[in-house]
Chains A and B, each alone.
Chain A
Amino acid sequence: MSQILIPILIVGGMGILFGGILGVASKIFAVKVDERVPQILEILPGANCGNCGFAGCSAYANALCAGGVKTNLCPACSGDTSEKIAEILGVKADESEKMVARVRCSGSTENAALKYIYDGPCDCHSAAKLGGGEKLCSFACLGFGSCVKACRFDAISVNDGVAVIDEEKCVGCGGCVKECPKNVIALMPAKSKYAVACQSAEKGKFTRQNCQVGCIGCGICAKNCPKDAITVENNIAVINQEKCVGCGICASKCPRKIIKLYK
């Protein structure tokens, strides 16, 4: 009996003694943790995407409490979050505009012509290294879903060879923009309605050969825009979202139906 009891008593006694010492030490060496940090952490999305420029959400929260950091750096947060953070910190909120990522390509398997059949690993970076991908158009979305894997908010899917972004889920962090080897995805203000779903800088003749829907840079949209918000640069129509009022005339006049209404 004592063979079991003595070890239990001795080791248990050591444990209690050490616990007591540590308890006292923790009082002496107590560090005040800024109580605003956990509050801010609760508001931040917690995806640790790092697009605010800090190592993660908690690093950003710490930097915010230390002061001198803007409250609108989180690209995944809406304007209210910036205000909430400012309220906790007791400072004035910095304006932030919500952005969404949009795919500037409509070259689905039906629309885009192929150069060859790609049979390699299902990864855009690998596909892009083989002659720029299987689609004839060198600006096209490859559709192997590297952006799907990069998205931390589950907002992207690949539909019929082209990435599709769910704008309800997209927070505009820009993770997919960095990942895409073809630079197909771009961030745009979430309130903008119309955008050109193509980025082909080829001359119209070649774009026609490569794809059934690509922008040929004809300029009809630019001529018809009442606000002069559209220009054709490098054979592609570009909508200036600051001037655009969302009337939709360009979309109805476009012979290729490549200017699309979002939302």
Chain B
Amino acid sequence: MASSSTTASGNVPDHDGRFGKFGGRFVPETLMHALDQLTNEYKKAQRDPQFNAELQELFRDFVGRPSPLYFAKRLSEKVGGAQIWLKREDTNHTGAHKINNTLGQTLLAIRMGKTRVICETGAGQHGVATATACARFGLPCVVYMGEEDVRRQAPNVRSIKLLGAEIRPVTSGSRTLRDAINEAMRDWMSSVHNTHYIIGSVVGPHPFPMIVRDYQSVIGLETIQQSREKFGRLPDTVVACVGGGSNAAGMFFPFIDQAKVELVGIEAGGLGSAPGEHASPLSFGKPGVLHGSFSYVMQDVDGQTCDVHSASAGLDYPGVGPEHSYWKDSGRVRYTDCKDSDALAGFYELARTEGILAALETSHAVAGAMEIAREKKRDEIVVVCLSGRGDKDAAEIERLQSLSKK
């Protein structure tokens, strides 16, 4: 394996799906044919003007893109440092960035002649976005969701069902996102001839981390253009939350070659830094294999995946996309973590100063950005990827709040 380079390239992954030494394909032989087919079909689709035109039209008229770049004036004043701008992915149809990827992959599924779609979901946003895309194109859809997440993200569970998709609660392991991915992979092992697996983050075997990053890159590309329009330059710092890392990858990737722009990824710090209390593999984990990819992961000395914790179902994941590991080791992106309690504080601050309910996942980025902005001058600019809206979390936030008062 090649040692990690000191400068991150935008020209990754290579032919084998490697981002430096990270990535690759660590999956059963049964899936290799489908991964090759997906890689080839994706390459063809990228060069197909009709495919791209259809996706752009969906982005504009179905999702409501471009999403606004919004100056959070009152939040910035309250923090008392740099200007905080929000890239409003929460204004997308279905309320999060996830729809960017599911529409792209649904078009790919149709292109490959697949007649059924499966997916995993943690917070439920990817489940809703997949169910939505499948309803839009008339494909049957099965959503795997950990039983614990079915409980804490009930509003999204309802939406998924209303959209005509089937929810399959997963009762194995920690009953969260990681187990939902395991079950979706097992389904795919048996159904690969007619089924496409729309993975929801920049994780999994090649080509998924590349495809999901590319479809999410619309976030960063729009941010660059809107930054030039709104303040005539690029931001000083760009902040996004990282679970698997899809909104962050989509936001950061177009900025990778812009060396002056500082990029900061915020992982879920949970309750503290002890094993099992957080979900921050980039801060506390080691490189290893999980879900078909070589990347930072929380494992014990035998390579068994550790249980992790985050108040937010979408960040409650022991692994992370391989490109983030590559960016971390090259030093291009700085990764830090934000505790459950700080994320909750960020949620309230944004709600009360700007009238925006952010998702719990997103609230980690908001809290991280507030901390960064506080140390900066007033003419500096921090852009936060406001990856999703928080309606789904209202009940869970009430519950967490009442627990913390006890």
Partners in one complex: no
Residues of B within 8 A of A (CB): none
Residues of A within 8 A of B (CB): none
